[in-house]
């Protein structure tokens, strides 16, 4: 036991050095306080024999050494809550839980004294204890950690898994650590869903588990995101990255990806006690679910995100003030992006459908974008239709097809027919009736042709 106490103290010393030693290139930000609540099972079964001692004696001894070591760490506070220790099992009290030592600085002696006084007696109200633990943490932006040590399952009919998840979603505490003592393998799933589960099959494993939990809680954890091109080279960059809390759906970190002059990505700080999805905000976005992040080290996350560039260009002068294009993934109806002519935009390598908002609209299907390449799309300059007549009436412009069919394009304003509008090169028809005309037979119909860069004038006459 003594050797383990020395090893945990040495570990914490290393953690303190790494937290202040400047080994990371990122700008230093004030680190939030870490608050660790020990939630200790003190039900009657904890008196069961365990190797040369009993379960409660072992737990008390190891926790005493641990809080002693944690007390040396400036930015950490600990507290102790126990359950099943105030009333005998015959009473079956499902509210038998108590915060024995609240959070505070230099309270290791108080926790050790309280541990000595606790005598296992009652049942196992895990769910109610978790609910009450929510009020044990001060209401500030600290890193709240729960370490649950138990040798049994919920005995009061509650749902500790749903309760733990709900409290994590509310950010009351991070994903809890659960240490099971003497738990049968078939029952482990009932504890695994509460948090990160460890099976302490023997005292030596219990020691190792506590050491690992300290490492995960207090050591610095970083990630490097490599955005891979079509050849699996980490060459993509300049993309927004969002680390999303996999449980709550909230954005935990937002970064813009960076590569240095040597093509190496930078190192980013993350909290290893949160579950993450990684949203790579390419067009369309790439979502990497359930990241596997190992605490206390730099984790390299590789994401396949090859991009090609789409450049929309119109030759010659254009009367369009702002010409937009709807971009969709090929074969889909959902708008992916609206890109303006004259601009460049990167998309994931693949095929896209373009709907260019000219008059009439130009549809281009299966436009292919290749990794690392630019696909330039050009359209001919439009011509212009000029109607100099200043009359009031009802009219429309139709597009004429070679087959003889026509398609409605737009209506003319009723209050004044005098307009100038841009039209793509092609054949058209103008249909118009003045308001003063007393019969449909006085409808004016005129075919006309629009040529690129030229103006076609159509005068409306009363017929």
435-440's contacts with Cβ under 8 Å and 24+ in sequence apart are: 435/391, 435/392, 435/393, 435/394, 436/392, 436/393, 436/462, 437/393, 437/462
Residues 11 and 146 in one domain: yes
426 is in which domain, residue-wise? 383-457
Residue range 248-258, pLDDT digits in tens: 999 999 999 99
- Predicted pLDDT at 463: 57
Q: Is residue 151 part of a domain?
A: yes
pLDDT at position 4 is: 46
Tokens read off for 193? 């869903």
β-strands 34-41, 76-83 pairing:
parallel
Identify whether 462 is part of a domain: no
**The pLDDT of residue 462:** 65
Report the domain count for the chain. Answer: 4
Residue 177 has a pLDDT of 95
Q: Are residues 49 and 109 in the same domain?
A: yes
Residue 247: how many CB atoms within 10 A of its CB? 16
What's the farthest any 2 CA atoms get from each other in the chain?
Answer: 112
Tens-place pLDDT, residues 92-140: 899 999 999 999 988 999 999 999 999 999 999 999 999 999 999 998 8
Which residues, given as ranges, of the chain have pLDDT below 70? Answer: 1-30, 462-463
Question: Both 192 and 130 in a single domain?
Answer: yes
Whole-model pTM: value is 0.82
Please name the residue ranges forming H helices in 312-365. none
Same domain assignment for residues 19 and 119: yes
Q: Which residues are registered as beta bridge partners of 146?
A: 37
Q: Are residues 15 and 118 in the same domain?
A: yes
Final residue before a domain boundary, out of 189, 218, 247: 218
For residue 130, being part of any structural domain is answered with: yes
User: Are residues 356 and 393 located together in one domain of the fold?
Assistant: no
Q: Is 250 helix (H, G, I), strand (E, B) or coil?
A: coil
Among the listed residues 290, 282, 294, 298, the one whose alpha carbon sits nearest the alpha carbon of residue 243: 290
């Amino acid at each position: 036991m003594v050797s383990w106490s020395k090893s945990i103290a040495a570990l914490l010393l290393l953690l303190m050095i790494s937290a202040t030693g400047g080994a990371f290139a990122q700008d230093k930000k004030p680190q939030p306080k870490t608050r660790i609540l020990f939630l200790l099972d003190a039900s009657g079964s904890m008196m069961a024999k365990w190797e040369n001692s009993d379960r409660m004696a072992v737990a008390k001894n190891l926790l005493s050494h641990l809080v002693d070591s944690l007390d040396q760490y400036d930015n950490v506070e600990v507290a102790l809550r126990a359950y099943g220790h105030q009333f005998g099992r015959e009473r079956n009290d499902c509210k038998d839980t108590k915060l024995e030592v609240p959070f505070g600085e230099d309270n290791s002696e108080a926790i050790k004294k309280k541990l000595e006084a606790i005598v296992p007696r009652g049942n196992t109200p895990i769910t109610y204890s978790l609910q009450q633990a929510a009020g044990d943490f001060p209401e500030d932006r600290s890193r709240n950690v729960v370490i649950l040590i138990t040798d049994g399952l919920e005995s009061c009919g509650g749902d500790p898994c749903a309760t733990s998840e709900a409290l994590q979603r509310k950010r009351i505490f991070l994903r809890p650590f659960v240490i099971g003592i003497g738990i049968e393998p078939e029952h482990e799933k009932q504890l695994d869903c509460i948090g990160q589960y460890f099976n302490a099959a023997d005292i030596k494993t219990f020691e190792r588990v506590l050491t690992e939990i300290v490492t995960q809680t207090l050591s610095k954890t970083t990630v490097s995101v490599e955005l891979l091109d079509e050849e699996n080279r980490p060459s993509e960059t300049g993309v927004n990255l969002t680390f999303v809390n996999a449980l709550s759906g909230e954005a935990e970190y937002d970064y813009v990806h960076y590569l240095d002059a040597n093509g190496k990505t930078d190192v980013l700080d993350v909290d290893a006690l949160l579950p993450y999805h990684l949203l790579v905000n390419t067009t369309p976005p790439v979502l990497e679910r359930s990241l596997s992040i190992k605490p206390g080290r730099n984790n390299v996350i590789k994401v396949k995100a090859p991009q090609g560039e789409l450049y929309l260009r119109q030759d010659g002068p254009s009367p369009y003030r702002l010409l937009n294009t709807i971009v969709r993934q090929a074969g889909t109806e959902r708008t992916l992006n609206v890109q303006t002519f004259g601009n460049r935009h990167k998309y994931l390598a693949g095929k896209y459908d373009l709907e260019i908002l000219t008059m009439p609209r130009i549809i281009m299907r299966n436009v292919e974008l290749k990794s690392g390449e630019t696909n330039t799309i050009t359209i001919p300059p439009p011509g212009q239709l000029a109607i100099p007549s200043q009359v009031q009436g009802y009219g429309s412009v139709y597009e004429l097809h070679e087959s003889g069919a026509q398609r409605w394009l737009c209506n003319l304003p009723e209050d004044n027919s005098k307009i100038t509008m841009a039209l793509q090169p092609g054949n058209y028809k103008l249909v118009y009736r003045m308001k003063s005309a007393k019969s449909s037979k006085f409808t004016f119909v005129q075919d006309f042709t629009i040529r690129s860069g030229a103006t076609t004038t159509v005068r409306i006459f009363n017929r």
